[in-house]
Structure 1
Amino acid sequence: MNIPENVKLYEHAIATFWFDEDGILYSVSKKVPRDVEVMKDYVIFVKKMLNNNKACILSDISNAAPMDKNTRDYIETELKNVYKAMALISKSPLGIMIANIYLKLNTPSFPTKMFANVKDGKNWLKQYL
């Protein structure tokens, strides 16, 4: 996913964020280790960015580093308090396959779906705005 020009960017250790004209939050993941402490900081960062409101997010996870089970469990309990819905995209067919398997085996507590492109992810998210 390309970061558009002329948008306000929010930088965190794990991703770059911005909002589109519809209020959808976008993120492009960075290839950095993700443990519980890093993800706690991420949750605090996003809550502050959203003024403690919930948002829909479209996240390019192509570069996202894998998380261990403790970190995944922590994120699952926290993200439902941050996001209304999450559309995930990846440039990697293998990444898409792994994410789809994970989503089938571990049903998130808020709407979450994997997409091959930004357009389809955004169209799906619009129902949750």
Structure 2
Amino acid sequence: MDKIENEFASFFLKDGILHFIYKPNTELNLDAAKKVVEDRKTIQKGKSYPVLCDIRGLKDVDKVARDFLAKEGSSLVDAVALVVDSPAYEFMANFYLKVSKPDVPTKMFSSIEEALEYIKKFK
């Protein structure tokens, strides 16, 4: 299994799905968002994947980073399943979905199992 890790997140491919897990208390600005996307693309090696994105470790994402992730950050991504576990993360994810309007199908889930069920449809 291929795996890449940086100071913000870890990424690994499993069964045709890219798993993307933010580290605890991660704060993203534009530079951090660019690093995350660069490392994600490295593990993908030019191939598009559905993405399971566990955002439970995110503490904050500024507007410029959100907009970057929603547009430029969607390249080589078929769809995204966001995993949240609290009202605060649910609010953050809903805000992202409504305001930044990602370029690929993106839904929020409260468990990894539900997220995997959804994202498998895009393999």
> What range is the shorter-chain TM-score in?
0.7 to 0.9
Aligned to 1:66: 60
TM-score by length of 2: 0.87
Question: Which structure is higher in strand share?
Answer: 2
Please say if residues 66 and 100 of structure 2, whose CA atoms lie closer than 8 Å, have aligned partners that are also in contact.
Answer: no
Alpha-carbon distance in structure 2 between the residues aligned to 1:40 and 1:98: 20
**Which has the greater radius of gyration?**
1
Once the two structures are aligned, what percentage of the paired residues are identical?
A: 30
TM-score by length of 1: 0.83
Please say if residues 8 and 18 of structure 1, whose CA atoms lie closer than 8 Å, have aligned partners that are also in contact.
Answer: yes
The CA deviation string for residues 29-58 of structure 1, in whole angstroms up to 9 with x for no partner, is 112321111221221111111012111111
Q: Which secondary structure state, in structure 2, belongs to the residue aligned with residue 110 of structure 1?
A: coil
Alpha-carbon distance in structure 1 between the residues aligned to 2:3 and 2:38: 17
Answer yes or no: is 1:121 the counterpart of 2:115: yes
Alpha-carbon distance in structure 1 between the residues aligned to 2:36 and 2:28: 10
Q: Structure 2 matches for 1:16-31, cutoff 5 A?
A: 16-20=10-14, 22-30=15-23, 31=25
Query: For residue 24 of structure 1, what is the amino acid of its counterpart?
Result: I
Alpha-carbon distance in structure 1 between the residues aligned to 2:34 and 2:100: 21
The structure 1 segments of at least 4 consecutive aligned residues displaced by more than 6 Å after TM superposition are: none
Alpha-carbon distance in structure 2 between the residues aligned to 1:128 and 1:35: 29
